[in-house]
Amino acid sequence: MKIAFIGLGNMGSPMASNLVKAGHNVTVFDLVESAMQALESEGAGRADSAQAATQGADVVISMLPAGVHVKSLYLGRDGAPGLLEALEDDASNITPLIVDASTISPEDARTVAAAAREKGFTWLDAPVSGGVGGAKAGALTFIVGGSAEGFEQAKPVLDVMGKNVFHAGENGAGQVAKICNNMLLGILMSGTAEALALGVKNGMDPAVLSEIMKQSSGGNWALNGYNPWPGVMEGAAAGRDYEGGFLTDLMAKDLGLAWELALGSKSTVPMGSQARNLFALHSAQGNGGLDFSSIQKLYREGE
Amino acid sequence: MKIAFIGLGNMGSPMASNLVKAGHNVTVFDLVESAMQALESEGAGRADSAQAATQGADVVISMLPAGVHVKSLYLGRDGAPGLLEALEDDASNITPLIVDASTISPEDARTVAAAAREKGFTWLDAPVSGGVGGAKAGALTFIVGGSAEGFEQAKPVLDVMGKNVFHAGENGAGQVAKICNNMLLGILMSGTAEALALGVKNGMDPAVLSEIMKQSSGGNWALNGYNPWPGVMEGAAAGRDYEGGFLTDLMAKDLGLAWELALGSKSTVPMGSQARNLFALHSAQGNGGLDFSSIQKLYREGE
């Protein structure tokens, strides 16, 4: 299958790499020259523009930092035409399927999807969870919003990069589900860090308390595989001074998206709101570039 | 084994019943006559006072509503002697093991444990989780604080009533671990309810969103077996108008114990604090007698 891949950041590079390894004909584009060179050395083709990368493609995949980049790419900016227009004008194109794996607001996703639909293209929002490790291992979770037909069409390609591929609903639902999940994750992680700190301050061993809560009604994803207390769990970010992993600033970004979603829908999110403030505070204290489980440090100052 | 069981409430009655079924010689005492009659009909002996119940007992187990009751029972009140004094005076007694399964403050637990130790008795704090369903099924989790020897001695008896029996540490640690766990549970449940409500307000199907989060990084105990959204999970309290189960008022009590623990240890608990306020508000709105997963209703008012 001929695949165009746009956006070779920390996530996009290993995702594109897995598509190459699976034998697909992948053409990449990124603004960073070295990222394209790396993919080229693995067997991908490279193009000088997003438009050029998508010529004759069956599937277009994009993985960009935020909504503003996704809108620029597809809808254009400052009078320059976007990719949707270029795809329409490309006589060699056979109406490709478009999958955007970026995490953006549901509103932005619906805007771009509607513009694509007008031109007869199927556009899916397919944000991922699983981080850089999941991307490298081809073990990401894709949460897809868009038509059922589009989902079925995309699934074999997403299966190459992911372990779980969910259909969340219509366009925007992929982003809504991802935002809800990551809000809950922010709540779980800060709550788990808080419970561990409370126990330790009252004489408990963090490993014993972790084991008890994991097997009791406090059990959650953080305790199962991402324990925030240093030394409790082998391989967790806490054991390497919180280097790498899913960054505090990305969690703060996702919790900010949850605020926007709550504002737009007149929802109340007291727990997510508290978590957002904690991660934003933690970032303001200089921890934005650490793994988000470093929120544990916020509870340990002055110990 | 000769066991005295004091306190036949919603939890104590099925716990005592399981001890009888396992062939132990159980003598019960409660202030409520009908509760004693029910246990008597199952084969337990009954006594006219806590003191009488414990005569010649190998093990004394108590299951009472709050710290004030536990202190009254063991230490006495208004000049009347407590059970510790009575046990000391009882010539027929062979220094019984004492297990208090009530959920009380760690401070109260340490106070009573110290008084017991002075008289040469082993006293364990062994709060449970698992609720009435767990008590009936003999599937409770016991979280035990006290000496390692006392723990080993108590374990075979606790195994009759529970599925998991943890040794958390010294006296008081059982209560600390339970409070930390239940604070985290309150955070998980309110956070899960909040994430579901945010998704549904933005067009998601609650069952689809639940499944996605359960298998992603939002996964937690509530999503696994106690989903708060009506109709998503068979057998959950949400499906029977939140009748029965673990009551809102009990969750509010446990979150209040977390506040006390945080105050005493100068800990910061922003997430647990928010959860406590939500459950207290939910109780103030008349939902104290409903299962705690009814916190979902707080997010659905005005829908």
Question: Which two tokens mark A137?
Answer: 């291992």
Determine which helix (DSSP H) or strand (DSSP E) holds A144, and give its type and residue range.
Answer: strand A140-145
Task: Report pLDDT digits (tens) over A197-248.
Answer: 999 999 999 999 999 999 999 999 999 999 999 999 999 999 999 998 889 9
A299 neighbourhood in chain B, CB within 8 Å: 267-268
Contact B218 A182 (CB under 8 A): yes
- Is the Cβ–Cβ distance between B98 and B60 less than 8 Å? yes
Least confident of A164-173, A282-291, B82-91, B110-119: B82-91
The pLDDT-based confidence of B91 (bands split at 50, 70, 90) is low
Q: What is the three-class DSSP state of A7?
A: coil
Best probe of the B interface among A183, A187, A250, by most B CBs < 10 A, is: A187
The predicted pLDDT at position B219 comes to 96
SS3 assignment, position A29 = strand
Average pLDDT of chain B, as a whole number = 95
**Nearest Cβ partner for A177 among B191, B204, B277:** B204
A-chain residues within 8 Å CB-CB of B278? 270-271
CA-to-CA dists, residue A95 to A1, A80, A81, A102, B294, angstroms: 14, 21, 18, 21, 48
**And the tokens for A10?**
């920390």
| Span A245-253, average pLDDT | 92
Instruction: Tell me which chain A residue has its CA closest to the CA of residue B185.
Output: A218
Q: State residue B285's pLDDT score.
A: 95
- Secondary structure (3-state) at A37: helix
pLDDT digits (tens, 9 = 90+) for A160-198: 999 999 999 999 999 999 999 999 999 999 999 999 999
Nearest CA to A133 out of A10, A9, A251 is that of A10
Classified as helix, coil or strand, A182 is helix
Quickly state the pLDDT bin for B301 (edges 50, 70, 90): low
Tell me if B209 sits within 8 A of A184, measured CB to CB.
Answer: no
Please answer yes or no on whether A213 and B181 come within 8 Å at the CB atom: yes
Residue B152 has pLDDT above 90, yes or no: yes
Which of the residues A198, A205, A224, A293 would you substitute to probe the B interface, choosing the one with the greatest number of B C-beta atoms within 10 Å?
Answer: A198
The whole-angstrom separation of Cα A84 and Cα A187 is 38
Tokens representing residue B119 in the block: 């008289």
Mean pLDDT of B47-70: 95
Interface test with A, best of B132, B189, B216, B257 (most A CBs within 10 A): B216
The Cα B206–Cα B194 span in angstroms is: 12
pLDDT at residue number A303: 54
Q: How far is CA A93 from the centre of its chain?
A: 28
% of chain B with per-residue pLDDT over 70: 98
Q: For residue B242, name the pLDDT band (cuts at 50, 70, 90).
A: very high
Whether the predicted pLDDT of A16 surpasses 90 = yes
Per-residue pLDDT reduced to its tens digit, B269-290: 999 999 999 999 999 999 999 9
DSSP labels, chain B? -EEEEE--STTHHHHHHHHHHTT-EEEEE-S-HHHHHHHHHTT-EE-SSHHHHTTT-SEEEE--SSHHHHHHHHHEETTEE-HHHHHHH-TT----EEEE-S---HHHHHHHHHHHHHTT-EEEE--EESHHHHHHTT-EEEEEES-HHHHHHHHHHHHHHEEEEEEEESTTHHHHHHHHHHHHHHHHHHHHHHHHHHHHHTT--HHHHHHHHHTTTT-BHHHHH---STTTSTTSGGGGTT-SSSBHHHHHHHHHHHHHHHHHHT---HHHHHHHHHHHHHIIIIITTSBGGGHHHHTTTT-
A196 contacts on B by Cβ (under 8 Å):
180
All structural domains of chain B, each given as residue ranges with its CATH number in brackets, are: 2-169 (3.40.50.720), 176-299 (1.10.1040.10)
Average pLDDT over residues A103-116: 96
| Predicted pLDDT at A133 | 85
How many angstroms away from the CA of A88 is the closest CA of chain B? Answer: 31
The percent of residues above 90 in pLDDT, for chain A, comes to: 89
Angle, CA of A101, A105 and A109, to the nearest 5°: 60
For residue A219, the chain B residues in CB contact (below 8 A) are 220-221, 224
pLDDT at B303: 54
Using an 8 Å CB-CB cutoff, list chain A residues near B219: 220-221, 224
Confidence grade of residue A297 (pLDDT, cut at 50, 70, 90): very high
Q: What is the rounded average pLDDT of the residues B13-29? A: 98
The answer on pLDDT for B12 being more than 70 is yes
Which residue of B177, B196, B217 is in closest CB contact with A204?
B177
Locate the chain A residue with the closest alpha carbon to B267.
A198
pLDDT average, residue stretch B75-85 = 92
- ipTM of the complex as predicted: 0.92
The percentage of chain B sitting over the pLDDT mark of 90, rounded to a whole number, equals 90
Which pLDDT score, from 0 to 100, does residue A113 have? 98
Question: How many whole angstroms separate alpha carbon A141 and alpha carbon A12?
Answer: 14
pLDDT score of A45 more than 70 = yes
Across the interface, of B168, B202, B219, the residue whose CB is closest to A106 is B202
Amino acid B245: pLDDT: 83
User: Given an 8 Å threshold on Cβ–Cβ distance, is A262 in contact with B169?
Assistant: no
Q: Is the pLDDT confidence value at B44 over 90?
A: yes
Q: How far off is chain A from B40, nearest CA to CA, in Å?
A: 32
Please report residues of A whose CB lies closer than 8 A to that of B170. 203
pLDDT tens-digit map of A147-157: 999 999 999 99
Cα–Cα distance list, B152 to A35, A86, A291 (Å): 60, 74, 40
Amino acid making up residue A292: F
Q: Among this protein's residues, is B178 annotated catalytic?
A: yes
Q: Say which range, A92-106, A262-276, B86-100, B217-231, has the weakest mean pLDDT.
A: B86-100
pLDDT value at position B130?
85
Nearest CA in chain B to A218: B185
- In whole angstroms, what is the distance from residue A207 CA to residue A74 CA? 49
Question: Which element (helix H / strand E) includes A99?
Answer: strand A97-100
Q: How far is CA B257 from CA A116, A162, B69, in A?
A: 55, 43, 16
Q: H or E segment at A17?
A: helix A12-21
Which of A188, A209, A270 is the closest to B274 by Cβ?
A270
Residue carrying structure tokens 């084969």 = B43
